[in-house]
Structure 1
Amino acid sequence: MTVRPAGHKALLAAASAQFAERGYHAVSIREIAAAAGVSLSALYHYYPSKQALLAALLHEGMDDYQARCAEALAEAGHDPARRLAAVVGATVRYRAERSEASLMLMNEARALEDEERERYRARQREASDRFRQPIDAGVAAGIFTTPYPDDVRRSIIASCNAVAQWYRPDGPDSLDDLVEHNIFLAYTLLGYERRTPTSKVRQLSRARADDY
C-alpha cells in the first residue's frame, strides 16, 4: 500500500486546478506547493519535478476515464450500437463530473517530455479506439450507414469532449439528458435508423412539428 503524505490530496487538487486554469508552463512548483499548503520538500519527496506531477495527474485522470468506459462496456453486451452508447455516456459523464481533469487531459499532454508524451499518446489512441471499434463493427454489420465513419467518430469525440468546457450542473439540462442527447446525435450522424429518441427529444420533436 502506498503511503501518502499529509495534504497529498490537496497537492494533487491544487496542481490540477492551477494547470487547468493557467496552463502548465505558467505555473511554478512553488505556487502549487503554496496553494496546497505543503512544503516544497514534501512535494519534491513524492514528485521530483513539475513534469512528474503533471504525468501523475494525467495518468490518474486517464485511469479513471478508462475504468468508467470499461465498466460501461461490460454492461453493454456485444451490440455495436449499445457499445457506442456506453462509451459516449461514460465520456460525457466524465467530462461533466471531472471537467478540470478533462481540460488537463485534453490540453496539457503536449507539455510532457518526449518519452512520457509518447506513452501518454498511446493511451489516448486506446481511448479513441473505444469509439472506433463499435463504429467499425456497426458499419460492418450494416446498421451504421454513414460513408464517413472516421469523420463521424472524430465529430462524436469532439462533441463529448466539449462538455468539459461548457456544461454546468445548474443549467437547463440534467446530466442524464445530456448523455441521451449525445447518444441520439451520435446515432443520427452514423445513420442508425433503429435509434430510439429519448423521451425529451421526442417531446421537442412533437413540439416543433406542431409549430408548422
Structure 2
Amino acid sequence: MENKDSKSEMIKSMAFRLFLDRGYDATTIRMLSRAAGVEAPSIYHYFGSKKGLFYAISESYLEDYQELLKESMKHWGADPMNQILGFVKFAVWYTMNHIDETKFYLRYRLFWPAELSEDMEKHFHKTNDQKEDLLRDAIRVCIETGSCKVDEQTAYRSLINFVDSCTFNIIFSNWRPDEQELIETWQLFYQSRIKLGKGDFEL
C-alpha cells in the first residue's frame, strides 16, 4: 500500500511539471488529480489548496538550493574574491544541473500569478537574503582592501546581473562553460566592472 509520503511526493512531482509547463493559472486541480492519478480530495488533504501545493513544491527546491549553497561555501575559504567567484561557480553549476528548477524559479520569481502576488516576496526572501548577505559581506571587504573600485550597491547589482546573464545563457543559449572558460569570462567581467569600474561587459 502506498504510504502518505510517497503519494504526496508523487503529487508534487506531477504538479511541478504542470506548473512549469502550463503555468500556475492554467493548471487546475482537475488536471493535477488526473496527472497524479489521485482524486481531487487527496490534493486538498495533503496540501489544503492549489496554492498550498505550489508552495510545498517551491519550498522543497528552495531548501535544497540553500543546503547545496551552504555545502559549497565550505570550500571557498576566507578570501572575499574567492567567495564571490565561488558563488559564481556555484550558480553556474546549479543552473546546468538543475535546469527545470531554475526555469521554475525564474518563471515565478519574475512573473508572479495574481493569486500568489501577496506572498511571493516573503516566500523567496530567505534564499534571496542568503545570497545578498554573502555577496555584500565579501564586497565590503573588497572595497576596504582596494580590490573593488566601485561602491557596494554598484558592485552588488553588477554581480547579480552577471550571474543572471550566465543563468539565461545556460538556459536559453545552451551555454555550457567548462571551468577555464567560466574563469576567463569572470576575469573579463571583474576587470571591466568591478576592479576598474568602467566599460561595458557583454557575456
Q: The TM-score by the shorter chain falls in which range?
A: 0.7 to 0.9
Q: How high is the TM-score relative to the length of structure 2? A: 0.76
Distance 1:5 1:22, change over 3 A: same
Give 2:79's aligned amino acid: D
TM-fit CA distance, 1:150: 3.1
Aligned to 1:70: 70
Do structure 1's residue 54 and structure 2's residue 45 form an aligned pair? no
Distance across 2 between alignment mates of 1:162 and 1:43: 33
For residue 136 of structure 2, the aligned residue among 119, 132, 135 is 132
Q: Which runs of 5+ in 2 are unaligned?
A: 196-203
For residue 142 of structure 1, the aligned residue among 137, 140, 146 is 146
Distance across 1 between alignment mates of 2:15 and 2:97: 18
Distance 1:83 1:150, change over 3 A: closer
TM-fit CA distance, 1:51: 0.7
Partner of 1:26: helix, strand, or coil? coil
Partner of 2:159: helix, strand, or coil? helix
Give the percent of matched residue pairs that are identical in Structure 1 and Structure 2: 21
Q: How high is the TM-score relative to the length of structure 1? A: 0.74
Q: Is contact 1:73-1:86 (8 Å) kept? A: yes
TM-fit CA distance, 1:37: 2.0
Distance 1:167 1:63, change over 3 A: farther
For residue 117 of structure 1, the aligned residue among 114, 117, 120 is 120
Give 1:134's aligned amino acid: A
Distance across 2 between alignment mates of 1:145 and 1:187: 15
Q: Is contact 1:139-1:145 (8 Å) kept? A: yes
Aligned to 2:171: 165
Number of residue pairs matched by the alignment:
184
CA displacement 1:138-176 (0-9 Å, x = unmatched): 2332223456413422222212432562375xx8x46xx
Distance across 2 between alignment mates of 1:152 and 1:182: 17
